[in-house]
Structure 1
Amino acid sequence: MTFRVELSRRAEVDIKSTYSYIRKHGPADPSAWKAGLEQKLTGLETFPEACGLAPENEFVKAEIRQTFYGPFRIVFTIREQIVFVLTVRHAARLALQREELDKIQ
């Protein structure tokens, strides 16, 4: 079974702001970072259920899963044939709060 990966508005903003931060502050190559992230997201098209549950899962009825790309967490839910990416955030940041999840979904 193949899934389609879609980004929430928040995930799009997360990616753009991280790319901008890396471009300004380094040390990584922002284009390489984004290409690697896109590859990781493409990988979610097959077997997204293999990813573990995210800490945010306890707040909602739908399963919230996560995978990692370097020090970043990709937080997503699965809706039928769609992997819906909620956020892409540095793993050192606190988990999303219930109120934040309500705004995304």
Structure 2
Amino acid sequence: MTFRVELSQRAEADIKRAYAYIRKQGPADPKAWKAGLEQKLTGLETFPEACGLAPENEFVKAEIRQALYGSFRIVFTIREEIVFVLTVRHAARLSMSHDELDKIN
């Protein structure tokens, strides 16, 4: 089965923010970072269930998984044939808040 990957508005904003930060602060090439991220997202089209459960999973009814990309976590849920990306955040950031998670249920 092939899944379709969709980004939430939050995930899109997260990616733009990370790109701007990398462009400004370095050390990575922001275009290479974004290309790699897009490749990782495309990889979720097949076997997203192979990704581990995210720490946030224990707080919601829906199953929440994560894929790691460098020092970033791609946090997503699977809805039928859609991989819905909730957020893309640096792994050093705190897990999603209860307010963010309430919007999932």
TM-score range, shorter chain: over 0.9
Distance 1:2 1:68 in 2: 20
Distance 1:71 1:87 in 2: 14
TM-score calculated relative to the size of structure 1: 0.96
Per the TM alignment, residue 65 of structure 1 is displaced from its structure 2 partner at its CA by 0.2
**C-alpha contact (below 8 Å) 1:10/1:104 kept by paired residues:** no
Q: Which SS does the other structure have where 1:53 is aligned?
A: coil
What 5-or-longer segments of structure 1 have no aligned partner?
Answer: none
Q: Which SS does the other structure have where 2:62 is aligned?
A: coil
The CA RMSD over aligned residues, in Å, is: 1.0
% identical equivalent positions: 84
Number of aligned residues:
105
Per the TM alignment, residue 103 of structure 1 is displaced from its structure 2 partner at its CA by 3.6
What 5-or-longer segments of structure 2 have no aligned partner?
Answer: none
TM-score calculated relative to the size of structure 2: 0.96
Per the TM alignment, residue 104 of structure 1 is displaced from its structure 2 partner at its CA by 5.7
**Paired AA for residue 60 in structure 2:** V
Distance 1:38 1:61 in 2: 28
